[in-house]
A and B are shown apart, each in its own frame.
Chain A
Amino acid sequence: MLKPILLVEDNPKDLELTLLALERSQLANEVIVVRDGADALDCLTRQGKFSSWLDGNPAVILLDLKLPKVDGLEVLRTIRQNPSLSSIPVVMLTSSQEETDLVHAYELGVNAYVVKPVSFPDFVAAISKIGVFWAVVNEPPPGSMRLLRDALQ
């Protein structure tokens, strides 16, 4: 069974476009969507409203940089500091090629850093490449498991 993709995105338009892009890449993986950094961490550690979820890590986390409550870099840091989460591939999706963010993300151990292209065809191409590589081509670390899909709001 394919492991899910965890998408952390607060902007509804970006969310819609990203999901559309993932859909077009014809991935079979389920996509779990959370809308802020705090939920992302709760989801990964089965806390709060995610406490009843089954164990297991996603194949890849697509993480927006600017998020409410806990921002993307902070989520990344927490993931890398948690032994049971630290091996999950994390791809940072961001609007900006701002160098300090880029450097910071790599220092924290991001697996890839993608600046979302303005052009929609380019955007679709970028997202499907990421999805195909991390969710299909890449062999995920052991312990990854299928999770229930969260309803789209």
Chain B
Amino acid sequence: MISDDVVAQLEANCAREPIQIPGAIQPHGFLIAFAEHDGVVRHVSANISGFLATTPEALIGQSIDVLRIVHGESMRDAASHLLDEGDGPTHAGSVALADSLATQQNFELLLHRRGSLIIAELEPSAAPSQAQFASMYPVVNAFVTRIQEARTVEAICATAAQEVKRLTGYGRVVTYCFDADGHGHVNAEVLDPGYESFLGLRFPASDIPAQARALYISNRIRVIHDIHYEPSPVVPAVDPDTGKPFDMSLCALRSVSPVHLKYMDNMGAHASMSLSIIVEGRLWGLVSCHHLVPRPVSMHTRAACDVLGRMLSLHVEAKEANSDALRRLELRNLMVRMLSAMADRDRLGVGLTRHPQPILDFARAGGAAVVYGVDCDVAGNTPDRDVIMEIARWLFARGERDVFHTESLVQLAPGFASIAAVASGLLAVSISERHPNYVMWFRPEVPQTVHWAGRPEKGADDLGRLTPRKSFALWQEILRERSLPWQRAELEAATEMRATVLSVVLRRAEEMAELALELGRLNKELEAFSYSVSHDLRAPLRHIAGYAELLAEMEGDKLAGRSARYLEHINEAAQFAGLLVDGLLTFSQMGRSALTMREIDVTALVRQVIRELAPDMQGRTIEWVVNDLPNMYGDGSFLHLALRNLLSNAIKYTRTRVQARIEVGSQAGEGEQILFVRDNGVGFDPRYAGKLFGVFQRLHRMEDFEGTGIGLANVRRIVERHGGRVWAESEEGVSATFYIALPDAASAQALTRSET
């Protein structure tokens, strides 16, 4: 027996224990290792003397051929059939050795290659009646038939457990699969009476240290006939040529860690066998067999179990691949629908959230959100928008630029505890390298009751700290603030989706850049156009007017009345054309000049404009009603121009009134300030109110009211440059009211920010 001191010491180092080089074997068989190239024996287990009339000392340094084989292939010949290194021990048949102490004793020979060594493990053959190789065929045949009928992974595992139990006679056979955290979840079980049930229990990941897991992948079957065995040392423990310890990673007889034996003892198992279930190269689960008393398992039975284990692995893999493929297909369909919705819209999130089902189904999420710039579009059950924005900033600060997922956001960021109900699970796909832009999915909290096989926390009590767990009794834990786990297929699809979304974003950015370029080009063209209009069009108009005037001066008295009138019309037309050109130029400047925004005293501005318009008011009686007007936020000279246009219109269109009345007032608006100019003039037909603000649009005959039709277009352009709006109301022949609404200072600044 191993002393408790040794156990305590080894357990403290459990995770670091070099279990692949224990330097000893289980004593139900013996081991000889010889160099492949010369057949010279390098290591022998000390217990060889219990089986053969020889000693390690007598063998080491001799050729392996010293061991005379009475019946069967020579070890070197058998070794030559071995395939690649990395394969576990291969059954090379039964041999009879000349030096055998027991008569009629055959040995089952297992061979494998490790480095430059061939390792031979020999175990006494079982009585011929127990299991014959030939009997394996019907076993496998029956197993395959049953396993193919199984519909679920659990059913496949249950079938395997029954078969393994039937083959080995162990009292308890359980299968378990590992979750993402490495905890083993028991999903099938077959028991004899008197054995405690483990079905549905969860074994903590710490029960199997990492280096053991690694071994389980290369060494698919492990047997302990009796946990109270006395290990037999392998001599020499260190290879004298290489100075390295003898590597027993793949040995069937490898002595197991004392910690593991103690663990088994605590569980009440005195013999055990475990088979690895390997899916896509990783340890998916185990078939684990226990027996209350020591129980040997013959080589044939082990070989049969090994085959069952491999078939089980293949079937689990196929089953998982199948459901995975179905899920992938579904995800792909959803992704296509989602992306086509997105690509059709100007704003990324609108397409996603207008048809929320695909995006929610995509990640089987309760809610989803798209954060893009200042926009946050949501679908389904989500946290508030500002919390979502905060999550985006949190992700960005963490450096998440790819696909991020968690089943418990609160665990990573306790600040988000308040949203655990809707967003315990978070899957986020970054769609920008430079900005906190993400597509997010939220999964609600699903409180899970976990049935642990004993308390999993290490160090929670004195027993758990230094020795393996003693209690395997049910211990319930309720996990809160956790969602259902994200599946691999979902994460992969999210990664794929990220690439596609990025290409959509990129394409959009390219389109925007092209548009901006085109816009810049058009602006330049327009500038050049208005420049040449103002220069080149104005000069000939001036000439027409000039020469017409000169002609009138020189020949005026000779011209008949009609000719003089024609000449006058030429002059007038040229001058009006000049006004139109000037108006057009002003209008184009309106759109190009930069605004200098400040607080404007509108009351003072209105009074100033009224003074400037005095020449237009000569001989008129106008009652001005200028109320106290609020200050507005805008460009002083542009607003001046706008007011001048509105007030001069009011003066013009009231000139048929004996008593004209023009009122300038204000109204309260939401986030804006509204100014109006109301007159009791001729007004306009309200049906044409929409046309009023167009360039060169006039609603009156020229002989009634002169004008270029550019004034209100200028007003509209100025107001729109300020982010405001204009409109007009009228009762024809009675009154007209023109409104301009400008964003207040706060709204105007917010608008400027969002543009940059």
Name A residues whose Cβ lies closer than 8 Å to a Cβ of B: 11, 13-14, 17, 20, 65-66, 94-99, 116-121, 123
Q: Choose one: A17, A20, A97, A119; the contact of B534 (CB below 8 Å).
A: A97
Task: Please state if A119 and B575 are interface contacts (CB–CB under 8 Å).
Answer: yes
Give the CA-CA distance A95 to B536 in the complex, in Å: 8
Give the CA-CA distance A119 to B552 in the complex, in Å: 13
Mask, B384-411, CB within 8 Å of A = 1, is 0000000000000000000000000000
Mask, B547-562, CB within 8 Å of A = 1, is 1111000000000000
Query: Known contacts A118-B575, A118-B578: does B538 contact A96 (CB below 8 Å)?
Result: yes
Q: Choose one: B539, B550, B577; the contact of A95 (CB below 8 Å).
A: B539
Closest CB in chain A relative to B389 CB, distance in Å: 43
Task: Please state if B589 and A118 are interface contacts (CB–CB under 8 Å).
Answer: no
Give the CA-CA distance A120 to B548 in the complex, in Å: 9
Closest CB in chain B relative to A144 CB, distance in Å: 31
B531 within 8 A of A: yes
Task: Please state if B546 and A95 are interface contacts (CB–CB under 8 Å).
Answer: no
Q: Which residue of B lies closest to A118 (CB)?
A: B578
B718 within 8 A of A: no
Name B residues whose Cβ lies closer than 8 Å to a Cβ of A: 530-531, 534-536, 538-539, 541-543, 545-550, 571, 574-575, 577-579, 582, 585, 589, 593
Name the residue in B535, B541, B571, B585 with the highest tally of chain A Cβ atoms < 10 Å from its Cβ.
B535
Task: Please state if B543 and A14 are interface contacts (CB–CB under 8 Å).
Answer: yes
Q: Choose one: B531, B543, B548; the contact of A98 (CB below 8 Å).
A: B531
Closest 7 CB pairs of A and B: A118-B578, A120-B549, A96-B534, A120-B546, A95-B538, A13-B543, A17-B546
Closest CB in chain A relative to B424 CB, distance in Å: 61
Closest CB in chain B relative to A16 CB, distance in Å: 9
Q: Using Cβ atoms and an 8 Å threshold, which residues of chain B touch A118?
A: 538, 541-542, 545, 574-575, 577-579
Give the CA-CA distance A118 to B593 in the complex, in Å: 25
Q: Using Cβ atoms and an 8 Å threshold, which residues of chain B touch A120?
A: 542, 545-546, 548-550, 571
Give the CA-CA distance A13 to B540 in the complex, in Å: 9
Known A14-B542, A95-B538, A119-B575; 8 more pairs at CB < 8 Å: A13-B539, A14-B539, A17-B542, A95-B534, A97-B582, A97-B585, A98-B531, A98-B585
Closest CB in chain A relative to B77 CB, distance in Å: 99
Task: Please state if A99 and B593 are interface contacts (CB–CB under 8 Å).
Answer: yes
Closest CB in chain A relative to B564 CB, distance in Å: 16
Give the CA-CA distance A97 to B537 in the complex, in Å: 13
Name the residue in A11, A13, A14, A116 with the highest tally of chain B Cβ atoms < 10 Å from its Cβ.
A13
Name the residue in A66, A99, A119 with the highest tally of chain B Cβ atoms < 10 Å from its Cβ.
A119
Q: Using Cβ atoms and an 8 Å threshold, which residues of chain A touch B574?
A: 118
Query: Known contacts A14-B539, A66-B535, A96-B538: does B550 contact A121 (CB below 8 Å)?
Result: no
Q: Using Cβ atoms and an 8 Å threshold, which residues of chain A touch B534?
A: 95-98
Q: Using Cβ atoms and an 8 Å threshold, which residues of chain A touch B541?
A: 118
Task: Please state if A123 and B535 are interface contacts (CB–CB under 8 Å).
Answer: no
Give the CA-CA distance A82 to B216 in the complex, in Å: 94
Q: Which residue of B lies closest to A121 (CB)?
A: B549
Q: Using Cβ atoms and an 8 Å threshold, which residues of chain B touch A20?
A: 550
Closest CB in chain A relative to B572 CB, distance in Å: 10
Give the CA-CA distance A65 to B577 in the complex, in Å: 22
Q: Which residue of B lies closest to A21 (CB)?
A: B546
Give the CA-CA distance A17 to B548 in the complex, in Å: 12
Q: Using Cβ atoms and an 8 Å threshold, which residues of chain B touch A99?
A: 589, 593
Give the CA-CA distance A13 to B593 in the complex, in Å: 33
Closest CB in chain A relative to B496 CB, distance in Å: 52
Closest CB in chain B relative to A4 CB, distance in Å: 24
Q: Using Cβ atoms and an 8 Å threshold, which residues of chain B touch A121?
A: 549
Q: Using Cβ atoms and an 8 Å threshold, which residues of chain A touch B589?
A: 99
Q: Which residue of B lies closest to A66 (CB)?
A: B535
Task: Please state if B535 and A95 are interface contacts (CB–CB under 8 Å).
Answer: yes
Give the CA-CA distance A13 to B539 in the complex, in Å: 9
Q: Using Cβ atoms and an 8 Å threshold, which residues of chain B touch A119?
A: 545, 549, 575, 578
Please list 20 pairs of residues, one from A and one from B, whose beta carbons are closer than 8 Å in the complex, sorted by A's number. A11-B539, A14-B542, A17-B543, A20-B550, A95-B538, A95-B539, A96-B535, A98-B530, A98-B531, A98-B534, A98-B535, A116-B538, A116-B542, A117-B542, A118-B545, A119-B575, A119-B578, A120-B542, A120-B546, A120-B571
Q: Using Cβ atoms and an 8 Å threshold, which residues of chain B touch A97?
A: 534, 582, 585
Give the CA-CA distance A118 to B543 in the complex, in Å: 8
Task: Please state if B531 and A123 are interface contacts (CB–CB under 8 Å).
Answer: no
Name the residue in B536, B541, B545, B577 with the highest tally of chain A Cβ atoms < 10 Å from its Cβ.
B545
Q: Which residue of A lies closest to B582 (CB)?
A: A97
Q: Using Cβ atoms and an 8 Å threshold, which residues of chain A touch B579?
A: 118
Give the CA-CA distance A17 to B542 in the complex, in Å: 10
Task: Please state if A95 and B582 are interface contacts (CB–CB under 8 Å).
Answer: no
Closest CB in chain B relative to A105 CB, distance in Å: 14
Give the CA-CA distance A96 to B584 in the complex, in Å: 12
Name the residue in A20, A94, A98, A118 with the highest tally of chain B Cβ atoms < 10 Å from its Cβ.
A118
Give the CA-CA distance A66 to B531 in the complex, in Å: 11
Closest CB in chain B relative to A150 CB, distance in Å: 23
Q: Using Cβ atoms and an 8 Å threshold, which residues of chain A touch B549?
A: 119-121
Q: Which residue of A lies closest to B543 (CB)?
A: A13
Closest CB in chain A relative to B284 CB, distance in Å: 75
Closest CB in chain A relative to B568 CB, distance in Å: 13
Give the CA-CA distance A119 to B570 in the complex, in Å: 11
Give the CA-CA distance A13 to B548 in the complex, in Å: 13
Give the CA-CA distance A65 to B535 in the complex, in Å: 10
Closest CB in chain B relative to A64 CB, distance in Å: 10
Q: Using Cβ atoms and an 8 Å threshold, which residues of chain B touch A123?
A: 542, 546
Closest CB in chain B relative to A60 CB, distance in Å: 21
Give the CA-CA distance A123 to B538 in the complex, in Å: 13
Closest CB in chain B relative to A118 CB, distance in Å: 3
Give the CA-CA distance A52 to B415 in the complex, in Å: 90
Give the CA-CA distance A94 to B548 in the complex, in Å: 21
Q: Which residue of B lies closest to A14 (CB)?
A: B539
Q: Which residue of A lies closest to B574 (CB)?
A: A118
Q: Which residue of A lies closest to B531 (CB)?
A: A98
Q: Using Cβ atoms and an 8 Å threshold, which residues of chain B touch A11?
A: 539
Closest CB in chain A relative to B577 CB, distance in Å: 8
Task: Please state if A96 and B542 are interface contacts (CB–CB under 8 Å).
Answer: no
Closest CB in chain A relative to B693 CB, distance in Å: 23
Q: Which residue of A lies closest to B586 (CB)?
A: A97
Give the CA-CA distance A99 to B575 in the complex, in Å: 21
Q: Choose one: B548, B585, B593; the contact of A96 (CB below 8 Å).
A: B585
Q: Using Cβ atoms and an 8 Å threshold, which residues of chain A touch B578?
A: 118-119
Closest CB in chain B relative to A90 CB, distance in Å: 19
Closest CB in chain A relative to B449 CB, distance in Å: 77
Q: Which residue of A lies closest to B530 (CB)?
A: A98
Task: Please state if B546 and A96 are interface contacts (CB–CB under 8 Å).
Answer: no
Q: Which residue of B lies closest to A101 (CB)?
A: B531
Give the CA-CA distance A65 to B538 in the complex, in Å: 14
Q: Using Cβ atoms and an 8 Å threshold, which residues of chain A touch B582?
A: 97
Q: Using Cβ atoms and an 8 Å threshold, which residues of chain B touch A17?
A: 542-543, 546
Give the CA-CA distance A119 to B548 in the complex, in Å: 10
Closest CB in chain B relative to A86 CB, distance in Å: 27
